[in-house]
Every structure is written in structure tokens, then in C-alpha cells.
């Protein structure tokens, strides 16, 4: 055995990981070789120092029950994290579906995001505003919560949510159409009202002219008295009640 | 009759809490001991050298936390446990990974702003003065903590985990030859560190 071989196996000798024969051969070399003996001494010194470090007898106070609880909490946390991720994915899918189904056009520009409605829609009035969350949306949300409570799978969620999203988009389109109709009716009524108010103004003007003419002729007073009398005929009963009055005087 | 670790693991997998308790009782102290040696940083704990405080510090919160993490991982991985291997090797590998993860976390948190270096321990030895065993042990701990992780891990597994070369290599996931050369380097570096603290072979001569 030469020095380099011995050097490469000294650690094994130090840690007693050699067979008796191998150890014997190494020791024989060490007995004859001062340099290798030095190396051996250095390694052995390190080993002895480490062996001398007393075992740490300080108690550790881990108990099974808290660990099991912590484990359950951790599993729940990771489940919740996955569920949040799935919910985010579903939300993105729903948004996509609404964009596709409702025929919205989304353009991302340098400084703005433009959302355009279907251009073929009749250009009546302003584009209908997005419908406020009606019973449809509430039902939808309730459904999502129920599904979540039931702990269903993300795929199943996504499928059902997409279905709902499509239905919602359809509802939204119907609602838009209704809004447009209402606006149309409103416009028609506005025109009617304008026409009527014009007529009223004409009548009023004519009446004014008639009044002026009558006033000029000094006939107004008499006409008014006649009018009053015509409007409020003296009731018979009043006449009969009034009749005894002169006798009191 | 003592129930083997593998048997306990098998029961543990079936939801036997008592079996897990037994494993915990059996292993928490060795694991904590290993964790402490693996994570000790040169700047903290027993600074070694002469005149230092020789009271043993209580087990740090960090070590308890790490030990808890090890057993949590044991529970989490119980389904995947392969009973053909040795439980000790398996749990030591988990412990090693836990300390490595913790070191990575700490490193990224501090961005190596603080480098833990041992303050050169104590005054040099006056000639002929004998150092007590306790003081020497503290110095060895500090020197061990000052070693780079690569050299420290095999030494700790070998000395404080009682593993053979082959088992150490298994835990570390390296070749046995690598373990050997790292042990050798580690022992020599340890000797050098201790020489700086005034402890050398003469200690053993008297």
C-alpha cells in the first residue's frame, strides 16, 4: 500500500469503517510512515473532539395532538389556496364568456381599455347601461356559494358557471333590448307631449286675445257676472231659508 | 418487545395516534439534537473559548419549531413512506431538508446582509493551561458551527446522528466517496478552527 492509497482511506480507518484486514494493512503502513501517521493523528484528533461533545439531554416537548391539529390546519390552508386559485380561473373564464357571448369587443390601448357593444344594434338612444345586479345575479352568486359549500370540483364549477354565464349574458341582451324599447316609447311620448303643449299654448293665446277684445268693449264685467251665475245657480234650499229674513228686520 | 419504527409507521398510516406518539417520543430528542447542530450559527449560542458562560442555553424556539416541522412532514409523507428503507435515514433526510429550507428562507430574508462569523473565540491559551472538557465541548460546537454547511452536514450526521458512511451518503443524496472526502476536509477544518482558539493535540497528551 502506498501513501496516496493510505491517505484516501484514512477517514475510513478513523471512523472504523474498514474490515480487520484492511485496517491491519493501513496500520502497518502508518507504523512505517511518519507523514501518514501525522495525517492520521490530525483526523483522529477531530474525531475525538467531536465524540467528546456530551449528548444534549435537554427535553423536547412536542406532543402528538397539537401536531395533528397543525397538520389538519395546514391541509385546510392548502385546500383553501387551491380553491382560491380555481375561483380566480373561473372568474377569468366567466369574464371571457361574457365578452364572447355578449359580442363585446375589448381593445386594450395605450392608455385605456375600450369595451364596445355590437355595432349592428339599432342606434336608438344611448347604449343601455349594464343592468344592475338583479335577481339573476343574486341567484347566480347563491349558486356559486352552494357549490363551494358542497366542496365540488373545480372542473364542475367551471362548467356550471360557464353555463350560467351564457344564460346571464342572454338575459343581459334581452334586458338591453327592453331598455331600448322603453327608451323608444319614451321618445314617442315626449313628442306627443310637445305637440299637446303646443296646442295648449295656441288655445291659451286665442283665449287671451278674446279677453283683451272683450275688455276693450267694456263687456268683460257683464260676461263674467253671467258666467258666475251660470256656474253657480242659487240652490233652491238657500232661497227658501233666506225668505224669512226680511220679517226679522 | 420494542416495536420497530417501520411497524409504528405502518400503524401511523392507518391513523393510529398512539403509534405516532411513540415515534415522537422516540425521535424528537435525537432530531432536535441534530437540528441544533445543523442550524447552529457561529455567532450565537455557545461562543466557546475560555471564560465564556458555560450554562447550557435552553433549546431555542427555532429548533423546537424546526422539530415540529420535521414531524409535520413525517405525517404529511406517511403515505409515501417506503418501509424497505430505514426509518432513521428517512427522518434524517427530512430533518436535513427542513434545515436547508430554513437556511434558504433566512438567507433570502437577510440577503446576506449579516454574515454569521464566529468572533475569534476567547484569548489564546496560555501555555500549559488545561481546558476543561466542558469548555472544550463548547469550543468544538462553535468551531463546528463555523464550518460551511457542506462540510458540517456529514460531520453532524455521522457524530450526532450516528450514521455510517453509506447511510450519511443516502441522507445527503451524494456518493459515499464524496461523504468521505467531505468528512476528511471537515475534520481538518475543525482542527484548524480549534487551533485558532488555542486547542490542539496537546490537549490529549496529558
Residue B69 to chain A, least CA–CA distance (Å): 9
Name the pairing type of β-strands A105-108 and A113-116: antiparallel
**Domain shared by A115 and A185, yes or no:** yes
Cβ of A47 and B187 within 8 Å? Answer: yes
**Domain shared by A144 and A187, yes or no:** yes
Residue B205 lies in a domain: no
Residue A241 lies in a domain: no
In chain B, positions 16-75, which contact chain A (CB-CB < 8 Å)? Answer: 17, 20-21, 24, 28-29, 31-33, 36, 56, 58-59, 64, 67-68, 71-72, 75
**Domain shared by A87 and A179, yes or no:** yes
* Mean pLDDT in consecutive groups of 10 residues from the start of chain B, 206 residues: 86 87 89 86 44 48 84 88 85 92 72 46 48 78 88 91 89 92 93 84 60
Q: What is the ipTM of this complex?
A: 0.72
Residue A227 lies in a domain: no
**Domain shared by A18 and A87, yes or no:** no
CATH number of the domain to which B23 belongs:
1.10.1740.10
Residue A236 lies in a domain: no
**Domain shared by A37 and A133, yes or no:** no
Residue A226 lies in a domain: no
Residue B69 lies in a domain: yes
Cβ of B33 and A17 within 8 Å? Answer: no
**Domain shared by A86 and A160, yes or no:** yes
Q: Which residues of A touch B165 (CB under 8 A)?
A: 12, 15, 17
Question: How many domains is chain A partitioned into structurally?
Answer: 2
In A, minimum Cα distance to B61 occurs at A60
**Domain shared by A92 and A175, yes or no:** yes
**Domain shared by A91 and A35, yes or no:** no
Q: Which residues of A touch B187 (CB under 8 A)?
A: 11, 14, 42-43, 45-47
**Domain shared by A140 and A26, yes or no:** no
Residue A66 lies in a domain: no
Q: Name which of A169, A131, A151, A138 is nearest A87 in CA terms.
A: A151
Residues B100-138: pLDDT tens digits? 888 887 766 554 444 444 444 444 445 445 567 777 888
Task: Give the domain range for residue A40.
Answer: 3-49
Place of cell 373561473: A90
**Domain shared by A45 and A107, yes or no:** no
Residue A220 lies in a domain: no
Q: Say how far apart CA A40 and CA A44 lie, in whole Å.
A: 6
Please indicate if any CB of chain B lies within 8 Å of the CB of A22.
no
Write the residue in A63, A64, A71 that is nearest to B76 by C-beta.
Answer: A71
pLDDT of residue A24: 92
* Mean pLDDT in consecutive groups of 10 residues from the start of chain A, 249 residues: 87 90 91 91 89 75 83 82 80 76 64 59 49 61 68 63 77 81 81 84 83 72 70 56 47
Task: Give the domain range for residue B177.
Answer: 5-200
Residue A129 lies in a domain: yes
Q: Which residues of A touch B20 (CB under 8 A)?
A: 64, 67-68
Q: Name which of B25, B24, B19 is nearest B3 in CA terms.
A: B19
User: The C-alpha cell of B175 is what?
Assistant: 456518493
Q: Say how far apart CA A173 and CA A103 lie, in whole Å.
A: 10
Q: How crowded is residue B15: how many other Cβ atoms within 10 Å of its Cβ?
A: 10
The alpha-helical segments, DSSP class H, found in chain B are 5-13, 17-39, 61-76, 87-110, 133-146, 149-160, 165-172, 176-196
Q: How crowded is residue B121: how many other Cβ atoms within 10 Å of its Cβ?
A: 24
pLDDT of residue A37: 92
CB-based contacts of B27: which residues, under 8 Å, 6+ apart? B5, B71, B91
Question: How many domains is chain B partitioned into structurally?
Answer: 1
Residue B206 lies in a domain: no
Residue B162 lies in a domain: yes
Residue A185 lies in a domain: yes
Amino acid at each position: 500500500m502506498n501513501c496516496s492509497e493510505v491517505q484516501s482511506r484514512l477517514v475510513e480507518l478513523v471512523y472504523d469503517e474498514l474490515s480487520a484486514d484492511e485496517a491491519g494493512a493501513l496500520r502497518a503502513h502508518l507504523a512505517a510512515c511518519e507523514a501518514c501517521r501525522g495525517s492520521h493523528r490530525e483526523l483522529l484528533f477531530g474525531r475525538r473532539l467531536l465524540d467528546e461533545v456530551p449528548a444534549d439531554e435537554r427535553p423536547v416537548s412536542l406532543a402528538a395532538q397539537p401536531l395533528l391539529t397543525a397538520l389538519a390546519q395546514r391541509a385546510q390552508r392548502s385546500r383553501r389556496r387551491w380553491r382560491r386559485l380555481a375561483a380566480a380561473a373561473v372568474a377569468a373564464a366567466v369574464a371571457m364568456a361574457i365578452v364572447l357571448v355578449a359580442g363585446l369587443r375589448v381593445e386594450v390601448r395605450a392608455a385605456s381599455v375600450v369595451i364596445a357593444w355590437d355595432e349592428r344594434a339599432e342606434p336608438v338612444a344611448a347604449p343601455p347601461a349594464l343592468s344592475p345586479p338583479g335577481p339573476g345575479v343574486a341567484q347566480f352568486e347563491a349558486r356559486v356559494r352552494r357549490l363551494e359549500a358542497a366542496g365540488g370540483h373545480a372542473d364542475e364549477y367551471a362548467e356550471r358557471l360557464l353555463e350560467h354565464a351564457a344564460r346571464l349574458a342572454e338575459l343581459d341582451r334581452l334586458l338591453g333590448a327592453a331598455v331600448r324599447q322603453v327608451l323608444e316609447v319614451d321618445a314617442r311620448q315626449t313628442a306627443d307631449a310637445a305637440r299637446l303643449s303646443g296646442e295648449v299654448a295656441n288655445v291659451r293665446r286665442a283665449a287671451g286675445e278674446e279677453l283683451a277684445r272683450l275688455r276693450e268693449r267694456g263687456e268683460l264685467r257683464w260676461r263674467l257676472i253671467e258666467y258666475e251665475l251660470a256656474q253657480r245657480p242659487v240652490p233652491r234650499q238657500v232661497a227658501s231659508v233666506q225668505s224669512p229674513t226680511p220679517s226679522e228686520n | 418487545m420494542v416495536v420497530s419504527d417501520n411497524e409504528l409507521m405502518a400503524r401511523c398510516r392507518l391513523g393510529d395516534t398512539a403509534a405516532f406518539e411513540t415515534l415522537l417520543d422516540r425521535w424528537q430528542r435525537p432530531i432536535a439534537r441534530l437540528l441544533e447542530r445543523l442550524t447552529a450559527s457561529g455567532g450565537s449560542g455557545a461562543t466557546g473559548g475560555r471564560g465564556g458562560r458555560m450554562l447550557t442555553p435552553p433549546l431555542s424556539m427555532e429548533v423546537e419549531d424546526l422539530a415540529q416541522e420535521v414531524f409535520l412532514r413525517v405525517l404529511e409523507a406517511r403515505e409515501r413512506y417506503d418501509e424497505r428503507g430505514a426509518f432513521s435515514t428517512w427522518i434524517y433526510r427530512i430533518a436535513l431538508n427542513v434545515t436547508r429550507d430554513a437556511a434558504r428562507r433566512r438567507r433570502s430574508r437577510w440577503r446576506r446582509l449579516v454574515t454569521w462569523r464566529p468572533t475569534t473565540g476567547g484569548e489564546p491559551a496560555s501555555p500549559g493551561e488545561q481546558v476543561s472538557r466542558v469548555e472544550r465541548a463548547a469550543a468544538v460546537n462553535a468551531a463546528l458551527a463555523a464550518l460551511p454547511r457542506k462540510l458540517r452536514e456529514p460531520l453532524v450526521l455521522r457524530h450526532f446522528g450516528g450514521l455510517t458512511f453509506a447511510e450519511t451518503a443516502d441522507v445527503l443524496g451524494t456518493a459515499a466517496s464524496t461523504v468521505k472526502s467531505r468528512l476528511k476536509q471537515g475534520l481538518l477544518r475543525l482542527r484548524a478552527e480549534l487551533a485558532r482558539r488555542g486547542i490542539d493535540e496537546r490537549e490529549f497528551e496529558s
